[in-house]
């Protein structure tokens, strides 16, 4: 959800960012489907409770309970990000996006780098069409990467990110 949050923020507050990096954003082509059988308020309360529980844990406890399968450096980064996550994200995550991200791309005026997971030709074409509406954007499908693009293919992503930052 980080990439979607960054995209929405950049679109709604174009004076804030100097540039944005979107790591495999969800909801580019359609709004993520919410489950009609889920009570949003109840689910949001559950997410808030989980975030409070994580906030009460030490960093080491959070790593062991939630991120043990990751490399230790990545596990620490993810645990820190979770600890800093605002409880208000619960409602946003569960209520969904008001429209697909591609519809706000024209409002993102700063330079943008979109790193996407590896995909078949059809999705690559759809992603390219969406990225064309970024005023100053670049799309990179990272070979062999899944949704956690940086985690899956760090060296390739780091090279793209460095080039983007030097260009800024």
| pLDDT at residue 90, as a whole number | 55
| pLDDT at residue 71, as a whole number | 83
CB 54 within 8 A of CB 66: yes
| pLDDT at residue 154, as a whole number | 92
Distance of CA 58 to CAs 49, 55, 67, 77, 88, Å?
16, 8, 13, 14, 22
Burial of 9 (0-12, 13-18, 19+ CB in 10 A): middle
Q: Per CATH, the architecture of 1-32+98-168 is what?
A: 3-Layer(aba) Sandwich (3.40)
Distance of CA 38 to CAs 50, 51, 83, Å?
17, 19, 25
Question: What token pair was written down for 31?
Answer: 């709004």
CA 164 to centroid of chain Cα atoms: 18
Q: How far apart, in whole angstroms, are the C-alpha atoms of residue 39 and residue 92? A: 14
pLDDT along the chain (168 residues), means of 10: 85 94 90 62 73 78 82 83 65 65 94 96 96 94 92 93 93
Where in the chain are the domains?
Answer: 1-32+98-168, 33-96
Tally of CA atoms within 13 A in the half-sphere of 115 that contains its CB: 29
Percent of residues in the chain assigned helix, strand, coil, to nearest 5: 55, 10, 40
DSSP letter for 33, please: P
Q: Is residue 137 classed as helix, strand or coil in its secondary structure?
A: strand
């Amino acid at each position: 959800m980080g990439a979607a949050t960054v995209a929405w923020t950049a679109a709604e507050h174009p004076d804030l960012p100097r540039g944005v990096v979107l790591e495999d954003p969800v909801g580019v082509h359609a709004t993520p489907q919410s489950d009609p059988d889920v009570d949003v308020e109840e689910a949001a309360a559950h997410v808030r409770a989980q975030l409070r529980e994580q906030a009460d844990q030490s960093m080491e406890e959070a790593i062991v309970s939630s991120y043990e399968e990751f490399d230790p450096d990545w596990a620490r980064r993810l645990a820190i990000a979770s600890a800093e996550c605002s409880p208000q994200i619960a409602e946003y995550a569960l209520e969904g996006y008001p429209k697909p991200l591609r519809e706000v791309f024209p409002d993102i005026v700063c330079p943008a780098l979109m790193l996407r997971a590896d995909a078949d030709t059809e999705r690559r074409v759809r992603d390219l069409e969406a990225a064309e509406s970024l005023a100053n954007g670049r799309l990179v499908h990272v070979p062999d990467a899944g949704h956690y693009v940086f985690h899956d293919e760090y060296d390739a992503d780091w090279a793209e990110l460095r080039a983007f930052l030097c260009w800024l």
